[in-house]
């Protein structure tokens, strides 16, 4: 059995528990991050920690510890579990208090971490998938990575039922915001690489951010702007990005085939650049 971390203790996974009056459990008053681990390196660790601090600050949840010691705990947990390839899940809730809506001041935040093993990313094994579309039913602060994930859970559950790999969420204007747990990308007929701009309507994905940096370094032009579902369906290529799945080419949206139904050159380049980036683990 693996070992997890709960508030300063390294405990067998089956005994890793938090109190029933934890505000994370009762109110989803809690934020999280998922870090990919490749060849023993935590990918984009600083970017994820920066976003975690953004989430904590926006909600006024106290930091459970400084970033330095947090990195030490993360490494220790990976090392105890002998994980060189996989992922680390980290959650910080506001803490434990008798159930009441107003968030009490001065609570001691709950910090938990779990890890799991996964195969290292292999660009040559990446498979394309289909996405379905669903209305975006989430709240208006999707830039904060909270555990309040029910809209995403329902959308992804429906996607899975329909044999799709992801659900792309559509806002009231008919634009694609993002996937239930990934960012959305398209390549238009005139070879423009497009992903939605970041604001409160989407999560600023760390993989998205790294891909934009890699595209720029490689000299690949991109535009950060909203795009409609009809634009996405007419695209030459589409793909998703996230820390756990990395890059997933999309060759079908609902019943419409994207491009020629094969993984296109932009998607292949993104897979190649991101794969190389993780090997270099800068
Ligand atoms: N959007 C949402 C809603 C997500 O849950 C995720 C995955 N955490 C992403 C985008 C991708 O973010 P990242 O690249 O940081 O994993």
Domain boundary among 117, 134, 152: 117
267 and 128 housed in the same domain: yes
Q: Tens digits of per-residue pLDDT, 168-203?
A: 999 999 999 999 999 999 999 999 999 999 999 999
Same domain, 168 and 234: yes
Model confidence at 282: pLDDT above 70: no
Question: What does 74-130 look like in DSSP terms, one character per residue?
Answer: HHHHHHHTT-SSEEEEEEEE--B-SS-SSPPTTPPPEEEEEEEE-PPP-GGG---EE
Q: Are residues 274 and 166 in the same domain?
A: yes
How many degrees, rounded to 5, is the angle at CA 192 between CA 191 and CA 197? 160
Domain boundaries, position 246: 123-280
Tell me: do 246 and 135 sit in the same domain: yes
Render pLDDT for 63-93 as a digit per residue (tens, 0 to 9): 999 999 999 999 999 999 999 999 999 999 9
Q: Report, as an integer, the average pLDDT of 276-280.
A: 95
Ligand 1 midpoint to CA 95 (Å) = 24
Q: Give the total number of structural domains in the chain.
A: 2
Residues with CB under 6 A from ligand 1: 34, 152, 178, 181-183, 203, 205-208, 241-243
Task: Tell me which residue of 259, 198, 263 sits closest to 233, measured CA to CA.
Answer: 259
- Distance (angstroms) between ligand 1 centre and the Cα of 195 equals 13
Confidence band, pLDDT 50/70/90 cuts, at residue 105: very high
Q: Are residues 105 and 84 in the same domain?
A: yes
Residue 86 and residue 185 in one domain: no
What is the mean predicted confidence (pLDDT) over 260-272?
Answer: 97
DSSP output for 167-187 = EEEE-TTSEEEEESSSEEEEE
Do 138 and 29 contact (CB within 8 A), yes or no? Answer: no
CA nearest ligand 1 atom 8, residue: 181
Instruction: Specify whether 74 is located in the same domain as 132.
Output: no
How far is it, in rounded angstroms, from Cα 200 to Cα 213?
A: 21
Catalytic positions = 145
Pick the last residue of a domain from 117, 141, 163: 117
For the CA of 47, the nearest atom of ligand 1: 15
Under the banding of pLDDT at 50, 70 and 90, the label for residue 131 is very high
pLDDT over 70 (residue 18):
yes
Read off the CATH number of the domain in which 36 is found: 3.30.470.10
CATH code of residue 139: 3.20.10.10
* Residues contacting residue 160 through CB under 8 Å, at least 6 positions apart: none
The closest residue, in CA terms, to atom 4 on ligand 1 is 181
Whether 107 and 137 map to the same domain: the answer is no
The residue whose CB lies within 8 Å of the most ligand 1 atoms, and thus the one to mutate among 181, 204, 245, 270, is 181
Helix axes 45-59, 206-218, angle to 10 degrees: 130
Whether 101 and 164 share a structural domain? no
pLDDT at 16: 98
Centroid of ligand 1 to alpha carbon of 230 (angstroms)? 23
**CA-to-CA distance for 238 and 268, rounded, in angstroms?**
11
- Give the model's pLDDT for residue 1: 83
Cα 199 to middle of ligand 1, angstroms: 14
**Atom 9 (ligand 1): residue with closest C-alpha?**
182
**Co-location of 234 and 276 in the same domain:** yes
- Interval 210-229 mean pLDDT: 97
Judgement on whether residues 30 and 59 belong to the same structural domain of the protein: yes
Which of 67, 101, 117 corresponds to the end of one domain? 117
């Amino acid at each position: 059995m693996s070992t997890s971390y709960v508030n300063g203790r390294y405990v067998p996974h089956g005994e890793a528990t938090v109190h029933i009056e934890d505000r994370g459990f009762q109110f989803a008053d809690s934020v999280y991050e998922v870090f990919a681990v490749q060849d023993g390196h935590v990918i984009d660790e600083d970017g994820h920690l920066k976003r975690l601090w953004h989430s904590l600050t926006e909600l006024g949840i106290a930091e459970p510890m400084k970033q330095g010691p947090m990195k030490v705990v993360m490494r220790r947990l990976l090392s105890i579990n002998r994980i060189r390839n996989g992922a680390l899940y980290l959650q910080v809730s506001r803490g434990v208090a008798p159930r009441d809506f107003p968030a009490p001041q001065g609570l001691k935040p709950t910090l938990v971490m779990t890890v799991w093993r996964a195969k290292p990313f292999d660009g040559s094994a990446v498979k394309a998938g289909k996405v379905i579309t669903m209305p975006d039913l989430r709240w208006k602060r999707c830039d904060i990575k909270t555990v309040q994930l029910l809209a995403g859970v329902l959308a992804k559950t429906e996607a899975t039922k329909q044999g799709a790999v992801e659900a792309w969420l559509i806002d009231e204007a008919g634009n694609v915001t993002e996937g239930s747990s990934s960012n959305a990308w398209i390549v238009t007929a005139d070879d423009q690489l497009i992903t939605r701009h970041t604001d409160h309507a989407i999560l600023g994905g760390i993989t998205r951010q790294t891909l934009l940096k890699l595209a720029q370094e490689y000299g690949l032009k991109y535009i950060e702007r909203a795009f409609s579902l009809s634009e996405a369906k007419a695209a030459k290529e589409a793909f998703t990005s996230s820390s756990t799945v990395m890059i997933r080419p999309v060759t079908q949206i609902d019943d419409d085939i994207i491009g020629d139904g094969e993984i296109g050159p932009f998607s292949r380049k993104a897979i190649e650049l991101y794969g190389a980036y993780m090997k270099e683990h800068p």
